[in-house]
Amino acid sequence: MKNVLTWGLACVCGICLVQDAAAERPFFRAAGWPSWSAMVPDQVMPDTQAALAETRRQLEAICALQPEEYTFENTFVAYVRVGEQLQQVQTLVGHLMMTRPTAELQKAQQMMMEAVVRFSAERIGERRVEDVLMEAAKAPWVAQLEPEKQRYVQQVLEKLRNSGAGLSAEQQGRKTRIEKELHQLRQQFSANLERALTSWKLVITDPQELAGMPAEWMEQSAAAARALRIGTEDAPAWLVDLMMCPAMDVMTYCHVEETRRRCWEGVSSPGTARAVDNEPLLRRAMELRQEQAELLGYRHFADMQAARSMMGTAEKALVFVDQLMAAYKPAFDAEVAEYLAALSRVKGERLTRIEPWNELYFAKDIPADGEDFQIEQLSPYFQGERVIGGMLRLWEKLLGIRITEQKVHCLARGESSPAGVVEVWHPLVRAFTVHDTASGRHIGSFYMDLYPRPGKQGEAWCMPLQLAIPRADDSPREANLAALMANITPPGQQGHLLHHGDLYALFHEFGHLMHMLLAQPPLPGQHAMSVEQDFLEMPSQLQELWIWEPEALATFARHFRTDEPLPAELAVKLVSSRRKKSLLPTMQLLHTAKLDLEMNMHYADKFKDRPLDEAAAELLAPWRLPYTCTLPCELRTTTHTMTPGYAGCFYTYLWSELLARDAFSRFRKEGILNPATGADYRKHILEPGGSKPARQLFRDFMGRDPDPATMQQGLPGQ
């Protein structure tokens, strides 16, 4: 999942107790749907200040406790809930910055973060809060708590450690300054990428230069050009960029090598010297992270991150990545030889290296065992609305839920919403409610914002907007709220046909969405986002596997013109192509995972005094295609490497994928559309959230620990 929000900030996380009306405090959490039109930049700071005041009150309440007053709820639970309202404000501001950013909102967000950093630097009651929690942890009643609550206590103590408990005033001050600078680096990194992603454009006036591009893409590209006053109906021009009409598509389908080369230069420009250079930001982040980790008692930042993972240590994670790369090496070498042979046949000369702009183009054209199949043949059977509806119906059946679309309206500031209509932040956003089929209980609600537009962040992600806080009494818990964001193929004049890759984005993010909405943990802070980092992607990786299954595709894949179901032979070829698909995408993930770990573990030894691109190329040479030039290091443009939740643990995508494949073996055995298996998946994986260790969640569902052999079945070359 690209860009999932990290829920928590230093010693603040969650949502609050202040009962301000949503109309007065639009960024405050309230049950139901938020009022997006009221969330204007000039409201950010008033809401932030009110949230900070509530955070101060929560801290002071803990400080005022005497030992005889300590309870599980007013110490450990209360600490987890400190700053809930503040986190909600940050969440909603961040969401708007990714969906409808403005210069005014960006300025307000910066002011908000500066206020939060200043507040953190005050360290209100810090020593007293630490003392209360440490004293409470030693109280006799802690040993009498249920195992789940004892684990909760240990998690709170670990959070205390990572917030700097026990550091001197000087060390705490340095930690705060490090965190502030890291935040500034992240902002600059993202701003550099955004500027580069939106600035590069290639205008083409001769359609022959785009020979091989699908008709729908050409139509969309011409429309995008006209929107910028480039070309006309009579004299069209075609726009290639990095978001709306992606250069990656051209590099995959265009028959003209010179056009592919020009696009590769554009794709390679974000974060590099050809546009803006993120290398100095990466280097400074590595130095600061090492200092931060040492302050908190870790060998390096990667170990600090691994402490909250199933792996436990960065060394184990690196061994996992290296072993996986070594296992793929023979098949990868054979594939490289095949690529070079295919390219040599086309060019009429023996080649030992490949131009990077030719990689995607030739990769798609190499048949698997002589099969005449290209995945684009499936697109006529993937009509957009039918796919979306089919996905919803499939998971309704498997998870025992009912999903109902709501009427929506995008309001201007001060405009009143019609009764029974959900307010959204853009006219194309849709809204849904989720109810439990058996009880009728409202579990959650969600938005879907699926298509690219100027200003919206690229790729796909899922974000929790309001996470229900468990109640101490028996009253019904509130519903969770989340947003599924994507940039799939938008509607056109060819029936709104999706690519198989669009299905991947939808099903993957819907896996995150179901985890966020269906999680019903017993205690605050145990939401879906609190699971171990290398388990977080497991539900999304699992749920995307259905897009390869003929039985699942048969529920919605029908020809957009004839209504003919997806032919069985195409479904069979799809399954076959997956087993024989290129190893390149998997190896590229491994490249990023290895670089991410190596930089956060061994920056001083392997990267500090060397050009980043050169050091990365040398480290990855055995597992890369033999290119004719040095590629820019992928970490320049990988936002995860600067994101607190994912930095130093990008490998989690691969580990989670193998866990998902192992768990999917149960669905294969019992039926991929079997509601009983789906009910167990919901009960044992989704609903507990982070209330149990990830290994226990897996064991509860599978009846055993992960099986390395089963985990690798179905991977390319396996």
Q: How confident is the model over 189-208, as a mean pLDDT? A: 86
167: tokens are 């550091």
* pLDDT at residue 332 greater than cutoff 70: yes
Q: Identify whether the C-beta of residue 639 lies closer than 8 Å to the C-beta of residue 190.
A: yes
Per-residue pLDDT at 274 exceeds 50? no
Of the pLDDT bands very low, low, confident and very high (cuts 50, 70, 90), residue 17 is: very low
pLDDT for res 476: 62
| Confidence band, pLDDT 50/70/90 cuts, at residue 1 | very low
DSSP 8-state secondary structure symbol assigned to residue 381: G
Q: Are strands 480-485 and 442-449 parallel, antiparallel or unpaired?
A: parallel
Of 539, 532, 487, nearest in space to 510 by CA: 539
Using CA atoms, how far apart are residues 545 and 562, in angstroms rounded to an integer? Answer: 27
Mean pLDDT across 412-428: 88
Confidence of residue 206 (pLDDT cuts 50, 70, 90): very high
- Report whether pLDDT(677) > 50: yes
User: What would the mean pLDDT of 303-319 be, rounded to a whole number?
Assistant: 93
Q: How far is CA 653 from the centre of its chain?
A: 10
* CA-based end-to-end distance of the chain: 24
HSE-CB at 482 with a 13 A cutoff on CA atoms is 29
pLDDT tens column, 464-473: 999 888 776 6
Please report, rounded to a whole number, the percentage of residues in the chain having pLDDT higher than 90: 62
- Given a contact cutoff of 8 angstroms between Cβ atoms, the answer to whether 638 and 606 are in contact is no
**Which pLDDT does position 497 carry in this prediction?**
94
Q: What confidence score (pLDDT) does residue 345 get?
A: 83
Alpha helix stretches (DSSP H) within 533-583:
538-543, 550-553, 568-580
pLDDT at 403: 98
pLDDT of residue 461 exceeding 90: yes
Q: Report d(CA 15, CA 4) in Å as an integer.
A: 18
Can you tell me the mean pLDDT for 72-89? Answer: 94
**What whole-number distance in Å separates Cα of residue 457 and Cα of residue 245?**
15
Asked if residues 694 and 526 have their Cβ atoms less than 8 Å apart, the reply is no
**CA angle, 65 then 71 then 77, to 5°:** 95
Are 239 and 203 in contact, with CB atoms under 8 Å apart?
yes
Instruction: Tell me the C-alpha distance between 185 and 179, whole Å.
Output: 10
**CA 303 vs CA 93, 181, 289, 570, 649: distances in Å:** 31, 21, 11, 46, 10
In this predicted structure, the answer to whether residue 538 has a pLDDT above a threshold of 70 is: yes
State the pLDDT at residue 13: 29
Q: Sorting pLDDT into bands at 50, 70 and 90, what band is 221?
A: very high
- If one compares 712 and 604, the residue with the highest pLDDT of the two is 604
Kindly indicate the confidence band of residue 625, based on its pLDDT and cuts at 50, 70 and 90. Answer: confident
Q: Which of 4-18, 137-151, 228-242, 245-259 has the lowest mean pLDDT?
A: 4-18
Query: What's the pLDDT band for 203 if we cut at 50, 70, 90?
Result: very high
Q: Cα dihedral angle (188, 191, 197, 200), rounded to 10 degrees?
A: -90
- For 438, what's the count of Cα atoms within 13 Å in the CB-facing half-sphere? 5
Residue 349, pLDDT score: 87
DSSP 14: S
Mean pLDDT of the 76-91 span: 93
Q: Which percentage of the chain shows pLDDT scores above 70?
A: 91
How many whole angstroms separate alpha carbon 190 and alpha carbon 198?
12
Inter-helix orientation angle 126-137/147-162, to 10°: 150
Q: Sort 673 into a burial class: Cβ within 10 Å, 0-12 / 13-18 / 19+.
A: middle
- Considering only CA atoms, which of 361, 365, 354 is closest in space to residue 260? 361
The Cα–Cα gap between 293 and 162 comes to 9
Question: What is the per-residue DSSP string for 388-422?
Answer: HHHHHHHHHHHHTEEEEEE-EEEPPTTPPPPTT-E
The mean per-residue pLDDT over the stretch 604-617 comes to: 92
Please report the pLDDT score of residue 12 as a whole number.
27
Q: Does position 254 have pLDDT exceeding 90, yes or no? A: yes
> pTM of the predicted model, to two decimals?
0.83
Q: How much is the average pLDDT of 101-110?
A: 94
Contacts of 567 (CB under 8 A, 6+ apart): none
Confidence of residue 8 (pLDDT cuts 50, 70, 90): very low
Mark 8-21 as b/e (b = at least 16 C-beta within 10 Å): bbbbbbbbbeeebe
Predicted confidence (pLDDT) per residue in 476-533, tens digit: 678 899 999 999 999 976 779 999 999 999 999 999 999 999 999 999 999 999 999 8
Q: What pLDDT score was predicted for residue 418? A: 83
What one-character DSSP code corresponds to residue 481? Answer: E
pLDDT score of 713:
57
Q: Which of 133, 178, 180, 198 is nearest to 159 (CA)?
A: 133
Mean pLDDT across the stretch 167-184? 88
- Closest among 456, 464, 411, 488 to 100, alpha carbons compared: 456
Calpha distance 301→314 (Å, rounded): 9
Tokens matching residue 540: 């999304």
- Output the pLDDT for position 21: 41
pLDDT for the residue 11 = 29
pLDDT value for 108? 96
- 244 in helix, strand or coil? coil
Predicted confidence at residue 420, as pLDDT, reads: 87
For the record, the structure tokens of 366 come out as 């190499």
Domains and CATH numbers, the chain: 9-166 (1.20.1050.40), 201-267 (no CATH), 379-520 (3.40.390.10), 651-718 (no CATH)
Query: Regarding predicted confidence, which is higher, 271 or 297?
Result: 297
Strand pairing category for 480-485 and 422-424: unpaired
SS3 string, 628-641, reads CCCCCCHHHCCHHH
User: Residues 6 or more apart from 343 whose CB is under 8 A from it?
Assistant: 351, 354, 358, 362
Q: Which residues pair with 404 in a beta bridge?
A: 433
Please compute, for residue 208, the number of CA atoms within 13 A of its CA located in the half-sphere on the CB side: 0
Residue 454 pLDDT > 70: yes
The CA-atom distances, in angstroms, between 637 and each of 134, 196, 267 are 42, 10, 10
pLDDT tier at 632, thresholds 50, 70, 90: confident
Looking at every residue in the chain, the average pLDDT score rounds to 88
Residue 448, beta-bridge partner list = 430, 484
Instruction: Report the SS3 class of residue 446.
Output: strand
Residue 370 has pLDDT above 80, yes or no: no
Give the mean pLDDT of 569-574.
90
Identify the H or E element spanning 463.
Answer: strand 461-466
